[in-house]
Every structure is written in C-alpha cells, then in structure tokens.
Amino acid sequence: MTRLFGCVCGQFHSPGAGLGMAAERVAVPVPFYVIEHPEGVALFDAGLHDDMQDADDPYRQRLREGGMDVSLTAEETVASHLERLEIDAAKVRYVVLSHLHFDHAGGLSALPNATLVVQSKEWAAGADEETSRRYFLPKRFFDLGHQLRLVDGEHDLFGDGSVTCIPSHGHTPGHQSLRVRSDQGDHILVGDACYTAESAVSRNFPAYADHAAMNRSLDALMAMRGPQTVMIYGHDPGQWGERALLPGVRG
C-alpha cells in the first residue's frame, strides 16, 4: 500500500510577474510531499528551513532586498507535519529533491538520516560556484553531509514503478519531477518545472531559467498524462486552498 500526502511548509511572497502570475503581488504555498511505501518513507522536496521563522535570518533579509520574502510558523515546519502524520523524521529513508532552491531543500536539516536522491546535473550545478550563483543554489540548505544517490534521467525509486523520478531540466540544470502511483491514483508532482496551472498555459517562466529546456520538459510531462492523471504544480495557490488536492493529515 502506497499513500501520498501533501504538506504546505509556509508561504513565498513575491511580485506576481516573478511567478508568471497576473497579480501585482502574490503569496504562494511552499509544498512538500510525503510518500508512505512498504519499503520506507520518502519525501519529495523538504520545504523551508526552520530558521525562516525568524524575520532577521540573513537569507530572508536578502530576499527582502529583492522584493521577496517567506513566512513560516512552527506548525508549518517539516518536523511538525511529520509529527502529525505519526512519522519519525529520523526514519525518513529518502528525500527526492526536485532541485536545490532554498524553499525545496531547506527542511533537510530536520531529516538527518535520509538519503538524498538528486539528478547528477543538479548536484554538479550546486557545486559549481558560477552556476550556483546564476541559479540561486546556496549550499547552506543542501550541503549538509547526507548520503547521496545521484541519478541520471528516469529513476524507479523503489523498483516497483510506484515512485519514478522524471528529469525536467530548465528551471535549474538538473530539475526533476516525480510520478507517484498510489492508492489515491496517478499523480505527477511537477515541482518548479511549472509553478502554476496558469503558467502551464502562458509559459511565463523565471528570467534566469533556460526557457527552451523548460518548454521541452513541460511538453514531455504533459504528454505523460493519462485520463485520470493529476498534475500538481510547484506553487499553485488554487491547488492548496480549502480543498487541497492531497490530504495533509491521516483521514
């Protein structure tokens, strides 16, 4: 039995244009996902670092200098979500990282024993000073000494087709999405290969990204859909309102 949960780890505040949205300013969710599999618990992304609760944190100060910010409460941290799901954070087996941005890798500090599953291109980008600067990949949040499983291309996490990494480069050099076939159906967790359903149509992507690669990746993800497939985008407020697409607690 494989179960999929969705958890919102705070909010990202930004000019709408930076997220391909029409509004002048927006507050969008920062989700991560919990997969319970017979062979262990895996997370897709890890949300924000606990330090983002502090308005004086140096990284938040840098964000505000660029017209952005985040908000995070104690109840929204990775550890709090896992506690409500009755999952021991120390026993999480894998964290599949879509990419190395601070709002996707930040919660790794709460998951000390997990093996990180990352595309080789992404890890190399994070290790290269010039590339990491261009794509905003600060080592503070991801280079913490975890065990690594570097993969190239598609990767079947548990070997049974239930959880599959899908390369979707462009947002960053080694971005990946995740397909989860669970008891709740077929879900493609798009990650930041596309922020919202709105930008899936408009194809308004971040200025720093490789737009040609993002278009190819998004086209490929869309082509994978079956009639019942649910696409969950990286930061779509419409998917995490009162009727979230995935449960965040046990029902």
Instruction: Give the pLDDT of the chain (251 residues) as one tens digit per residue.
Output: 899 999 999 999 999 998 989 899 999 999 999 999 999 999 999 999 999 999 999 999 999 999 999 999 999 999 999 999 999 999 999 999 999 999 999 999 999 999 999 999 999 999 999 999 999 999 999 999 999 999 999 999 999 999 999 999 999 999 999 999 999 999 999 999 999 999 999 999 999 999 999 999 999 999 999 999 999 999 999 999 888 999 999 97
pLDDT of res. 105 = 98
Amino acid 150 reads L
8 DSSP β-pair partners: 31
Cα 11 from Cα 24, distance rounded (Å): 16
Q: What is the pLDDT of residue 226?
A: 95
The confidence score (pLDDT) of residue 157 equals 98
Beta strands, E only, the chain: 3-15, 25-37, 40-44, 69-71, 94-96, 115-119, 147-151, 155-156, 163-167, 176-182, 185-191, 230-233
Max CA separation in the chain (angstroms): 47
pLDDT reported for residue 152? 98
Among residues 189, 171, 176, 195, which one has the least CA distance to residue 225? 189
Strand partners, 148: 116
Model-wide pTM > 0.75: yes
Q: Give the DSSP per-residue string, 85-105.
A: TT--GGG--EEE-S---HHHH
The pLDDT score that the predictor gives to residue 100 is 98
pLDDT of residue 251: 77
Which residue, chain included where needed, has tokens 């599959």?
164
Position 241 scores a pLDDT of: 85
Report the distance separating Cα 26 and Cα 22, nearest Å. Answer: 9
Q: By C-alpha distance, which of 12, 110, 114 is closest to 69?
A: 12
